[in-house]
A and B are shown apart, each in its own frame.
Chain A
């Protein structure tokens, strides 16, 4: 099957959606799906491909949002100048944090990144003079491209999804390269990876930085869309939600990032009707998905499709696997 076809179709679908959807609320939801896809994509590379967990990824999301927010709201810097600063800061912090913590593995890496996420959250909340503290940072300007304002939901939709599509294409290239093979090798057997000459720590660090940069990009897009940010948007629960997106969507899959982000963005919106029971239903759905599709939505849907297909071709499939 040609590799590119699904991406071209998906890009076409996104374009059509952007042109046809007129409801502002729907556009907003689609924008949030795009932002979450960006977050899940980076984390999926780290978790799904390299096999390293991060329970503090919302910190990089927040670093992107707050860096650009503070620079533009306090010092009237152009967002397009603030963006590279935000990305560079997230990359530098990821490097500094990853250097010691990525030597850990399993639960210990989880604890290390969890602690990092909490520290960053506390900095957002307590450094009031810069971040606005617990009550948040207001007055973040909307984006514009030269004379072209991007604050209308439709134009912002196209901006966000253009960036998501580019990030998907770049991630695909990364996975299909020597670097991607090295990451998957580390996931399969660190011992064997070292034995073929892979600098395992160095590659973990690189993919950690890459995922942090994608998260900071998402934070930038979020901050300039909602124009107001507060620490809760980047706390521990958000990190957990990101991990859930990756697992529910499907590890080691670019489409898994899209599905996971879409489901976890849409569910809370749909479940408002359940009022007080919202969180219970939410949890139940996640449990059911994991029971019936343990390898995530992407794999689960492909398996279901193949089963359906096989049944149509041969009504009584043999019991052999």
Chain B
């Protein structure tokens, strides 16, 4: 049992994301089996596991890209399973992608402006008439987007074509774009993949700063150094099952986790 469970629970904020008995199969392959866990508000929660453990599937379920076969997902008490992804962004769930999916034909600033989509209102008629409220909204969105670029350190790249950025900067841009939606939960899918040591350290700091703004973070990550450093809690998946859950310290000592990662039999005793 966790050593510091009592102190941890006492100060535990209410769960923002609540997964209950989530199962998902593709054809005959069971990707996830009855996964239940919670993500506390204002925390950084890691999601780790060997390849094929179901991490990305779980992400796609929470972000609305897939529907669970069974079980429920609640966001701040509201059931969200099966709702289309674009509605979830408006509710406050934003995500990034493992392979970085930017809008390549647009500038860096425009990418973040698109990220403002759910926090702006201008529709077809507004665009055609371009009345005062629309102009004001454009100005505000543009200012907000520049602030976010400054936050991730890309302020001087605002007008560059996004596809010309080095990969590490593309990741930062994708995070800025996700933040532009003013999410309450940010889902980061392997944010350190493809980054060098320095970049991934800076990313760790950035993730901490995002949490300090009150944004809850759920991240899949293979870089154990980063995961152990920034995460408040970690959930371990293995072959579609929830293997363990706890603080980084607990996870590092968890015999079944060690077994799953090292591939051997569970350590005796």
A: residues with CB less than 8 A from B are 170, 173-174, 177-182, 184-185, 187-189, 191-200, 206, 210, 252
- Ranked nearest first, the 6 interchain pairs of A and B with the lowest CB-CB distance are A197-B89, A177-B127, A197-B118, A192-B101, A188-B103, A178-B122
Give me the interface of B with A, judged by CB distance under 8 Å: 63, 65, 84-90, 94-95, 97, 101-106, 110, 113-118, 120, 122-124, 126-128, 130, 134, 137-138, 141, 177-178, 180-181
Neighbour of B117 across the interface among A173, A189, A198, CB < 8 A = A198
- In whole angstroms, how far apart are the Cα atoms of A198 and B95 in the complex? 13
Q: Are B105 and A196 in contact (CB under 8 A)?
A: no
Bound form: Cα–Cα A187–B120 in Å: 20
A177 to chain B, nearest CB (A): 3
Q: Write out the residue numbers on chain A whose beta carbons fall within 8 Å of the beta carbon of B87.
A: 197
Contact of A178 among B88, B94, B117 (CB under 8 A): B117
- Complex CA gap A177/B120 in Å reads 11
17 A-B pairs whose Cβ atoms sit less than 8 Å apart in the complex: A170-B128, A174-B128, A180-B127, A181-B114, A185-B103, A185-B114, A188-B104, A188-B106, A191-B101, A194-B86, A195-B94, A195-B97, A196-B89, A196-B114, A196-B178, A196-B181, A197-B88
A182 engages B97 (CB within 8 Å): no
Would B124 and A179 count as touching, CB distance under 8 A?
yes
| Interface hub of A173, A182, A195 (most chain B Cβ within 10 A) | A195
For the complex formed, measure the closest distance between the CB of A162 and the CB atoms of chain B, giving whole angstroms. 17
In-complex Cβ contact of A189 among B65, B88, B103 (8 A): B103
Instruction: Evaluate contact between B122 and A181: CB separation under 8 angstroms.
Output: no
* CB <8 Å contact, B95 and A195: yes
Residue of A nearest to B118 (CB): A197
Interface centre among B87, B122, B124, B137 (most CB of A within 10 A): B124
**List of A residues within 8 angstroms of B180 by Cβ:** 196
**Further pairs besides A181-B106, A181-B110, A185-B103: 10, Cβ < 8 Å:** A177-B134, A178-B120, A181-B113, A181-B117, A182-B114, A189-B104, A192-B103, A196-B94, A196-B114, A196-B181
**Do A196 and B127 form a contact, CB below 8 Å, given A181-B113, A187-B105, A189-B101?**
no
Given the known interface contacts A184-B103, A197-B181, the answer about A179 and B65 at a Cβ–Cβ threshold of 8 Å is: no
Q: Which residues of B contact A191 (CB under 8 A)?
A: 65, 97, 101
> Which partner residue on chain B sits nearest A191 by CB separation?
B101
| Beta-carbon contact of A196 and B115 below 8 Å | yes
A194: chain B residues within 8 A (beta carbon): 65, 84-86
CB-based contact B177/A173 at 8 Å:
no
Instruction: For B118, list chain A residues within 8 Å (CB).
Output: 196-197
Roughly how many angstroms separate A198 CA and B64 CA in the complex, as a whole number? Answer: 13
Question: Which residues of the other chain, B, contact A197 by a CB distance below 8 angstroms?
Answer: 85-90, 117-118, 181
Q: Which residue of B lies closest to A209 (CB)?
A: B124
A173 and B130: CB pair below 8 A?
Answer: yes
Decide: B103 and A195 in contact? CB cutoff 8 A.
no
CB < 8 Å: which of A170, A173, A179 contacts B123? Answer: A179
Which residues of chain B come closer than 8 Å to A170, judged between CB atoms?
128
Q: Which residues of A contact B85 (CB under 8 A)?
A: 194-195, 197
Closest CB of chain A to B99's CB: distance in Å?
Answer: 10
